[in-house]
A and B are shown apart, each in its own frame.
Chain A
């Protein structure tokens, strides 16, 4: 417990001083790393914790980004107020989308979630209600103002994104160490046993989707701010595959695992932007090797970390 805390403090300390030592492209990478980690952690609520095969999570990320973009550019609502709206809307979508398909078994659910992602993507491309801007997307999204500070410089956005990551990690930690997280895990491990002990399957599964959708949407808003623009291909099915892969490669239901997964799947390829053509060939093979060497993920989740008063010999 203590040891973990030390690691996390070290991790965030590095994160805080990091932008002062690297060039600006790496600050951007750091920001996007934080946001992708948030999305991956939110995907993990559904995929890793509740064990539902969700391969359409970029939908919720996109709902957040587009909600903020539309509300800000069309209705001139300050970004900071779009955050709760985006979260609520995305969570609502999560509920509506998952409700009818929640009873589907593993791979069928996977296909249904892919389907929702593709429907969402086509809706963006077709300029739904004349709001999404079609293939061009939406440009000119403003910056949030918090306590009178304008979050528009590169570093300000970086710290804001990491603050969001910190909040998300706390929420995920809280989920893990509570009735809520245990219920998700029970459902993943054995649905029948979980139901037989009073876990309301439908409620918790839909709740997992709603929570996952809400958190992903939060990352989406900041993402829209970071690039001052949103466009459809950032939220397509390929992107969902990335988030899915992050969770599995890193270690389902493991916070450090998912951070490492994001690092491996998003940051590592950044080193090779200059030797471009072969990098995804090598990367594909690396993915296979990683799974073979670490089938449970790079840093698998550990269970059995219990409150002190339980494990201490009395």
Chain B
């Protein structure tokens, strides 16, 4: 039993990171119907930028707390801006183009960011310092939980609740939802769809950057291709939840985290990826638009 609980705890920690990253995919998809394959690499970029900022902060003899705060603010701002620029340069010119052209543009952006990271920070791994968060471990009836896990889980949940409120209670949030349902109608209602797209890229990149920093703090190892793995997982999480649906991305992320640990822990470790994807395919066969995705009846 404690083994099971241990797996669940660990699954939730990684799941919350997936969820944060998945939201970026789902928001962009919701409004633009674009799979932003570069999103994962943005997450990796965030981790690298964060590490650089952190090292600079330590160099200025800031205390741990201030260094971390500085790291989060500077990185989040930088990556949000980067997301906006990416949209402007790589996606906006393709808004009227066939959908898959924009997907290829996203793949190109992914390749460029990934190799850009390699050129700037080098091909070797980079390691986050281990002492930025006070790391306390608690043993609760055989289950080990550490303070980083709790911090990540809590912060992710707070961010997701904040996002939920933002999307459902504010004017911009309503405009985002409206644009997701029908861009043309939203335009007719006087919504500035360009502005909305900038907002979702900023917001999605912001959450992704937090996810990237969490990866840095939690696993501490950065390598230039990491974005692809996290990106793919988060994308799958978004699909499981029903892409385009924000609570779906949150749910999908948590579920994927738990699937991962349960499959690797109880079924087969060597086949864990295959089984995760098999499960995903089965979910899609039964529920073709993901768990919370609504089946859109095409108007004939």
The answer on a CB contact under 8 Å between A278 and B115 is: yes
Q: Mark each residue of chain B from 230 to 243: 1 if its CB lies under 8 Å from any CB of chain A, else 0.
A: 00100110010001
A192 proximal to B (CB < 8 A): yes
Shortest distance from the beta carbon of B122 to any chain A beta carbon, whole Å = 10
The answer on a CB contact under 8 Å between A192 and B298 is: yes
Q: Mark each residue of chain B from 37 to 60: 1 if its CB lies under 8 Å from any CB of chain A, else 0.
A: 000000000000000000000000
The answer on a CB contact under 8 Å between B93 and A292 is: yes
Shortest distance from the beta carbon of A75 to any chain B beta carbon, whole Å = 26
- Interface majority SS on A: helix, strand, loop or mixed? helix
Instruction: From A105, A244, A245, A295, give the contact of B98 (CB < 8 A).
Output: A295
Name the CB-closest residue of B to A246. B104
Shortest distance from the beta carbon of B237 to any chain A beta carbon, whole Å = 11
Instruction: From B112, B118, B278, give the contact of A288 (CB < 8 A).
Output: B112
The answer on a CB contact under 8 Å between B288 and A296 is: no
Instruction: From B105, B107, B116, B270, give the contact of A292 (CB < 8 A).
Output: B105
Q: Are A122 and B101 also in contact (CB < 8 A) when A285-B108, A295-B94 are? A: no
Q: Which residues of B contact A105 (CB under 8 A)?
A: 288-289
A119 proximal to B (CB < 8 A): yes
Shortest distance from the beta carbon of A252 to any chain B beta carbon, whole Å = 8
- Interface majority SS on B: helix, strand, loop or mixed? helix
Give chain A interface residues in 78-121, CB to chain B under 8 Å: 100-101, 103-108, 110-112, 114-116, 118-119
Number of interchain pairs (Cβ within 8 Å): 129
Instruction: From A110, A118, A277, A292, give the contact of B118 (CB < 8 A).
Output: A277
Q: Which size class do B's interface residues fall under?
A: 35 or more
Q: Are A118 and B273 also in contact (CB < 8 A) when A280-B115, A283-B111, A285-B112 are? A: yes
Q: Are A284 and B273 also in contact (CB < 8 A) when A108-B288, A108-B289, A292-B105 are? A: no
Complex: how many Å from CA A288 to CA B38?
12
The answer on a CB contact under 8 Å between A281 and B101 is: no
A: which residues have CB within 8 A of B? Answer: 47, 53, 100-101, 103-108, 110-112, 114-116, 118-119, 122-123, 126, 192, 241, 244-245, 248-249, 252, 277-278, 280-281, 283-288, 290-292, 295-297
B: which residues have CB within 8 A of A? Answer: 29, 35, 89-90, 93-94, 96-105, 107-116, 118-119, 232, 235-236, 239, 243, 270-271, 273-274, 277-278, 280-281, 284-285, 288-290, 298, 300
A–B pairs, 12, beta carbons within 8 Å? A107-B29, A108-B243, A108-B288, A115-B281, A119-B278, A123-B274, A277-B119, A287-B112, A288-B89, A292-B93, A295-B96, A297-B101
